[in-house]
Amino acid sequence: MSDFLSINGVSRSFASTTGGGPTLALQATSMTVEENDFITILGPSGCGKSTLLRIVAGLDQQTSGEVLLEGKRIAGPGADRGMVFQSYTLFPWLSVRDNVCFGLNERGMSRKEQLDIAQGFIKKVGLSGFENHYPKQLSGGMQQRTAIARALANGPRMLLMDEPFGALDHQTRELMQELLLSIWEAERKTVLFVTHDIDEAVFMGSRTVVMSARPGRIKLDREVTLPHPRSYAVKTTPVFMELKAELTEQVRIEVLAAQAALV
């Protein structure tokens, strides 16, 4: 059996804006992802972790290499890879319900089927009663919950998340982590999750990957052995602390390297 998702020697360089040669943002990177893995990707700002995610999403084009999803080469964005962005990307002209229906509607599904599916996911993210609200009437956390429901309702093969809780306050962020984790424990979707929060990476992930300073490459790949279902209490266990300490050290080295490169 072939791997679910394989990233083969994917690199990305950008044309320089200041003259001179192109800037390498992401070194040739290879990685395989098993079905139902929850992979968290850590790294300093600008290390290319978001670029890697966007290439998998098909929103950015790699300079070399290829990404295969179930053996098929990814050439552009598609409904099989749902994405949740750091910025609030709900369509402001659609209600919560119609935002969640967006992908289903695009597929030409009947309105009744759309509503059935949407209702289920709105309930799962705890937004029953808010179906008719417009995004601007919701808090940031509620908007991101709607965005998760919108991505999941579309029935993607995998979920790509680019610092989805990055703009939320600490308390909301922790509640969102638990919510997403409980949904993942129930649905077992394959997830690629970019973050710069080490607690979040360990708590959520079944595997955690650390990327180096720009040009990014994968420097560390750790399995997170904490059992499921996980509750927030797991954050104080020795296993969690030990892994967190190791990752903190590794990320710190890269952040320092990234800063040194700027001087």
By CB under 8 A, name the binding residues for another protein: 57-59, 76-79, 81-83, 85, 87, 89, 91-94, 102-103, 106-107, 134, 136-137, 147, 150-151, 154, 160
Distance CA 49, CA 72 (A): 22
Contact 139, 118 (CB under 8 A): no
Specify the residue, 30 or 110, whose C-beta has the smaller distance to another protein.
110
Nearest residue (CB) to another protein, 82 versus 205: 82
Beta-carbon contacts of residue 202 (< 8 Å; ≥ 6 apart): 40, 208, 224, 226, 240, 243, 244, 247
Nearer to another protein, 143 or 250 (CB): 143
Is residue 234 within 8 A of residue 226, CB to CB? The reply is yes
Q: Cβ of residue 205: shortest distance to another protein, in angstroms?
A: 22
What is the nearest approach in angstroms of another protein to the Cβ of residue 58? Answer: 8
Nearer to another protein, 37 or 162 (CB): 162
Judge if the upstream peptide bond of residue 227 is cis by omega within 30 degrees of 0.
no
Least gap, CB of 54 to another protein (angstroms)? 9
Minimum Å gap between C-beta 151 and another protein is 8
CA distances from 98 to 90, 132, 235 (A): 10, 8, 37
229 prior amide bond cis, ω within 30: yes
The SS3 assignment for 213 reads coil
Helix axes 96-106, 140-153, angle to 10 degrees: 20
Length of the chain: 263
Q: Output 113 or 249, the one with its CB closest to another protein.
A: 113
Least gap, CB of 82 to another protein (angstroms): 6
Residue nearer to another protein on the CB measure, 71 or 76: 76
Which one, 105 or 182, has the nearer CB to another protein?
Answer: 105
- CB 167 → another protein: shortest distance, Å? 12
- Phi (first) and psi of residue 177, to 5 degrees: -60, -45
Q: Report how far residue 62's alpha carbon sits from residue 59's, in angstroms, rounded to the nearest whole number.
A: 10
In the structure encoding, which two tokens stand for residue 118, read together?
A: 């949407």
Nearest-approach distance from CB 170 to another protein, in angstroms:
24
Neighbours of 82 (CB within 10 A): 24
